[in-house]
Amino acid sequence: MLEITFIPAFKDNYIWLLHNDTDAVVVDPGDATAVTWRLKAEGLALKAVLVTHHHPDHQGGIAGLLEEFDVPVYGPALESITGCSHPLQDGDHIDILGNCFDVLWVPGHTRGHLAYHGEGMLFCGDTLFGGGCGRLFEGTPAEMLHSLERLAALPEATLVYCAHEYTEANLRFAMEVEPRNRDTAKRAAEAAFQRLRGKPTVPSTLAEEKRTNPFLRCCQPSVITAAQKKDPSAHDPVSVFAAIREWKNHY
């Protein structure tokens, strides 16, 4: 039985720790020291490292971990990942402490970005956030929208373990896009309360994201109308997505 906890890093990163009673796997270890301290505190043996993409806050701790632990590193074959011993592509399957996870290629934020889905859990790095999505550093709006649609097609009960605590700010923007969305307003209030208490707002569920995340709602009339106020030519899902992503970039 896997247990999932987070290791906070930097300003707002979450390094996810998957473990049983004795063994552990980490996802996107940007900080080796934080991971090592947690493993020692809980008496866990590191068995593998998973990486979603190449940005330093997601892989910067790998070199330090490999100095202390001889473990496999799984990451996107299309990107340069420190110490990557198992380059992965779309459709691959990996074993995480006896549990099967599917590898999904979800480009947009970066060219080779991967997500890992299994056991009702989704580790999606910087592709899908609570109430938002990642910036398009290397991909196109069409690529990112397709990636988000692919994630949204997973079972609605799937728990979304994103890599940053952005939910409160994302939902403020979501309310600008859909000011009459009661689900978004309720979730925004709950997220603000959680942050006041110093509690994380993640994981969410895909069902919750589909009700409140404007980047998963590009076919909804309310989102289309909002996008057209920024770009009158926004009519199809890709142009609607591009308009609200650009709006969010400057929000």
Catalytic residue among 19, 54, 55, 117: 55
Give yes or no: 53 in active site: yes
Residue from 19, 54, 117, 164 carrying the catalytic annotation = 164
Decide if 164 is catalytic. Answer: yes
- Give catalytic status of residue 235 as yes or no: no
Mark whether 95 is an active-site residue. Answer: no
Is position 57 annotated as part of the catalytic site? yes
109: left (phi over 0), alpha (psi -120 to 50) or beta: alpha
Catalytic residue among 19, 28, 57, 117: 57
Catalytic residue among 53, 54, 113, 117: 53
Is there a catalytic annotation at residue 19? no
- β partners of residue 13: 9, 164
Distance, CA of 63 to CA of 68 (rounded, Å): 9
- Helix or strand run (H / E) with residue 49: strand 45-50
Cα gap 164→135, rounded to integer Å:
13
Written as six digits, the tokens of 124 are 């999606």
Which residue in the list 54, 109, 113, 117 is annotated as catalytic? 109
Question: Which residues in 133-150 are b (16+ Cβ under 10 Å) and which e?
Answer: bbebebbebebbbbbbeb
- Clarify whether 70 is annotated catalytic: no
Distance between CA atoms of 29 and 23, rounded to whole angstroms?
Answer: 16
Which residues 6+ apart lie within 8 Å of 144 measured at CB? Answer: 107, 108, 109, 127, 133, 134, 136, 241, 245
The answer to whether the Cα torsion of 40, 68, 59, 122 is positive or negative is negative
Q: Which residues carry out catalysis?
A: 53, 55, 57-58, 109, 126, 164
